[in-house]
Amino acid sequence: MKLKRKHRRLVFVVTGLASLLIAAGLILNAFEDNIVFFYTPKDMAEISIPEGKRFRLGGLVEEGSVKRLADGLTVEFTVTDLTATIPVSYRGPLPDLFREGQGVVTEGKMTAGGIFIADNVLAKHDENYMPEEVAEALKASGQWKGVQDGQ
């Protein structure tokens, strides 16, 4: 297997290109299915999201809206951006920072009944209790009350 320098280099170039092509294929394939968009309740009134499509819904947990169902594990609450609201149902552990009146990001799907079924609830470890997306969404809808920046 005595290869000339030129051929040897060609082998490596081809291997390199092949691994890049495979990676590009994997990435494109994965991007198609696994990119999750972020919407606020107001966005959702304006655009149509296909049923069964996963996305993130963010806003504030409406005061007085958190209800625990009888099984003790399912939680229902309303996410609001102070212009529109969406009811959310979630079964599972809530993060430590989840509370009424604070920012929250939930991930899941819309049902035909207009309820958002979340399988993941994120509340940030930030002293503002305000996820960045939610803060920006509130600013965009003119409802920002000016929590000062953290540090």
Partner 1 sequence: MTAEIGHFALILAFLTAIVQGTLPMIGAHRGNVAWMALARPASVAQLLFVTIAFSALMYGFVVSDFSIKNVADNSNSAMPMLYKVSSTWGSHEGSLVLWVLILALFGAIVAVSGGNLPPSLRTRVLGVQAWIAVGFLSFSLLTSNPFLRLNPAPLDGRSLNPLLQDLGMAYHPPFLYVGYVGFSMAFSFAVAALIEGRVDAAWARWVRPWTLAAWSFLTLGIAMGSWWAYYELGWGGFWFWDPVENSSFMPWLAGTALLHSAIVCEKRNTLKSWTILLAIVTFSLSLLGTFLVRSGVLTSVHAFATDPARGAYILGFLILVVGGSLTLYAIRAPLLKAGGLFAPISREGALVLNNLLLTTACATVFLGTLYPLFLDAIGGGKVSVGPPYFNATFGPIMIPVIAVAAIGPLMPWKRADLAGVLGRLKLALGGAMLIAAVVWYLVGGTAPWAPLGLGLAAWLFAGSLIEWAERVKLFRLPLAKSWNRARHLPRSAYGMTMAHCGVALVLAGIIGSQAWQVESVRLMAPGDSVEMAGYSFTFRGVRKLQGPNYSIDRGEFEITRDGVPVTRLYPEKRFYPVQQMPTTEAAIHTTWIGDLYVAIDESRAAAGEGDGAWSVRLYFNPLIPWIWLGAVVMMLGGLVSLSDRRLRVGAPRRKRSAVSEQPSPPEQPDPQAA
**What is the dihedral sign for C-alpha 25, 52, 69, 44?**
positive
Residue ranges in contact with partner 1 by CB under 8 A? 1-3, 5, 8, 11-12, 15-16, 19-20, 22-23, 26-27, 29-31, 33-38, 56, 68, 71-73, 92-94, 96-97, 107, 122, 124-127, 131-133, 149-151
Closer residue to partner 1 in complex, CB, 71/113: 71
Cβ 37 to partner 1, closest distance in Å? 5
Q: Give the C-alpha separation, 16 to 2, whole Å.
A: 21
Cβ neighbours of 131 (radius 10 Å) = 21
Please, are residues 108 and 118 in contact by the beta-carbon 8 Å criterion?
A: yes
Q: How far is the CB of 135 from partner 1 (least distance, A)?
A: 11
31 or 114: whose CB is closer to partner 1? 31
Of the candidates 73, 33, 54, 46, the one whose C-alpha atom is nearest the C-alpha of residue 117 is 54
Complex with partner 1: residue 26 or 45, whichever CB lies closer? 26
